[in-house]
Amino acid sequence: MVSVGEVLRGVYLLPKSRRRTQLLKLYREVLGRMGEVLPVSEPAAERFAVVGAALTRKGSPIPVNDIWVAAVALARNAVLVTNDAHFSHVEGLGVENWAA
């Protein structure tokens, strides 16, 4: 749900306009087709703590919400599809960039 919140926050930061209305409609259409939004589980919370501490120790912190996203993917042994290069700092995380 962290990434869902990030997407919606970006949309709601836009001024009220046709573009914002279109993006909200598209969001609802896409969310309606999605099966499951991955929850933050206890294993994901532990991964969050371990990953966050490791990144801080290495001196390469990433945004807290992105640590949560990485932690959920790691807990599920899932590949994260993203265009954000900073996820490469998360050890053991499989990342694919479909925009490249």
What is the spatial distance between Cα 44 and Cα 10, in angstroms, rounded to a whole number?
24
For tokens 């209305």, the residue is 21
Which residue did the predictor score with more confidence, 26 or 71?
A: 71
Residue 96 bridge partners (DSSP): 81
Q: Per residue in 54-96, pLDDT tens?
A: 999 999 999 998 999 999 999 999 999 888 999 999 999 999 9
Residue 35 clears pLDDT 90, i.e. is over it: no
Alpha-carbon distance values, 13 to 17, 19, 60, 63, 69 (Å):
11, 12, 28, 19, 21
pTM over 0.85: no
Domain ranges of the chain: 2-33, 42-96
* 51 touches 90 (CB < 8 A): yes
Q: What percentage of residues in the chain have a pLDDT greater than 70?
A: 96
Pick the CATH number of 42-96 from 3.40.50.300, 3.40.50.2300, 3.30.830.10, 3.40.50.1010: 3.40.50.1010
3-state DSSP helix/strand/coil % of the chain, to nearest 5: 60, 5, 30
Residue 13 clears pLDDT 80, i.e. is over it: yes
| Per-position DSSP letters for 12-36, written without gaps between them | HHSPSSHHHHHHHHHHHHHHHH---
